[in-house]
């Protein structure tokens, strides 16, 4: 168990150390006074913590709702409704994340909660789609065999359908996490904060060092989370 934990954390720790080294160097070696005033440990940590909170809150909600709704729509009585929802979800995924944020800005106004709600809706799409697709594509002969053995619908769902669909569901969550990291950088445009504040500040001041720090932190965050979810996904594949 300890060895597995070390393997899981090795790459994230190296990436986190690289990101920290870039921030430390930039803060201690600013190109000018303007960069020094905007690029401080406090502001970098505030932006990073806001970004992580945006992601955490929206992803927890999207995962819970996406999986539960996907399971519900996969039931035989709602199958055709689920197919319609799946088509709508596929179309919704093509809408730019900035457009989604702007839409809810006009309805809910500026702020952290608006950004979380928009990210929640945008992240729920791949999770719901993969949950529905993973369950409905379970081989029907397996389901019939379970019914012949006298298993209840709930036991078939929890003992057969979900374990087989776990890897596909995890893949949807992985996709949603990466999408969420990128979309969360745009939350700054609706007052949601996050790493996007550094990028937009650097663009407005025309200071590449500030832009670089924001971009590097966003990229490293996405890579670390994608790596961890991928490892968890591979664990589920072996387990199921």
Positions of the chain with pLDDT lower than 70, given as ranges: 1-8, 79, 82, 86, 89-109, 236-240
Question: What is the domain extent for residue 231?
Answer: 2-239
The pLDDT score that the predictor gives to residue 8 is 66
The pLDDT score that the predictor gives to residue 48 is 87
Question: How many Cβ atoms sit within 10 Å of the Cβ of residue 75?
Answer: 14
The pLDDT score that the predictor gives to residue 185 is 83
C-alpha closest to that of 68 among 114, 128, 27: 128
| Widest Cα–Cα separation across the chain | 75
The pLDDT score that the predictor gives to residue 166 is 84
The pLDDT score that the predictor gives to residue 158 is 80
The pLDDT score that the predictor gives to residue 117 is 83
The pLDDT score that the predictor gives to residue 76 is 76
Query: Domain of 230: which CATH number?
Result: 1.10.3720.10
Phi, psi values for residue 7, rounded to 5°: -65, -40
Q: At what angle do helices 208-239 and 2-28 cross, to 10 degrees?
A: 170
What are the C-alpha distances in Å from 181 to residues 72, 126, 163, 234?
28, 14, 28, 21
Instruction: Give dist(CA 40, CA 23) in Å, integer.
Output: 9
The pLDDT score that the predictor gives to residue 5 is 61
Q: How many domains does the chain have?
A: 1
């Amino acid at each position: 168990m300890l060895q597995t934990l070390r393997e899981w954390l090795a790459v994230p720790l190296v990436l986190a150390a690289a990101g920290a080294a870039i921030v430390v160097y930039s803060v201690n070696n600013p190109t000018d006074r303007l960069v020094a005033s905007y690029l401080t440990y406090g502001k970098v940590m505030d932006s990073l913590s806001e970004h992580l909170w945006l992601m955490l809150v929206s992803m927890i909600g999207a995962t819970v709702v996406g999986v539960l709704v996907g399971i519900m729509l996969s039931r035989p009585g709602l199958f055709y409704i689920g197919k319609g929802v799946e088509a709508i979800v596929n179309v919704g995924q093509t809408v730019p994340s900035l457009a989604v944020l702007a839409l809810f800005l006009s309805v809910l106004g500026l702020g952290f909660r608006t950004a979380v709600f928009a990210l929640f809706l945008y992240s729920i799409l791949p999770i719901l789609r993969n949950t529905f697709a993973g369950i409905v594509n379970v081989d029907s002969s397996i389901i019939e065999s379970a019914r012949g053995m006298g298993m209840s619908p709930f036991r078939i769902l929890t003992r057969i359908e979900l374990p087989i669909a776990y890897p596909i569901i995890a893949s949807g969550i992985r996709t949603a996490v990466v999408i969420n990291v990128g979309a969360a950088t745009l939350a700054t445009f609706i007052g949601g904060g996050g790493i996007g504040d550094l990028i937009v500040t650097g663009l407005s001041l025309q200071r590449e060092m500030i832009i670089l720090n924001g971009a590097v932190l966003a990229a490293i965050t996405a890579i670390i989370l994608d790596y961890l979810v991928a490892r968890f996904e591979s664990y589920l594949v072996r387990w199921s």
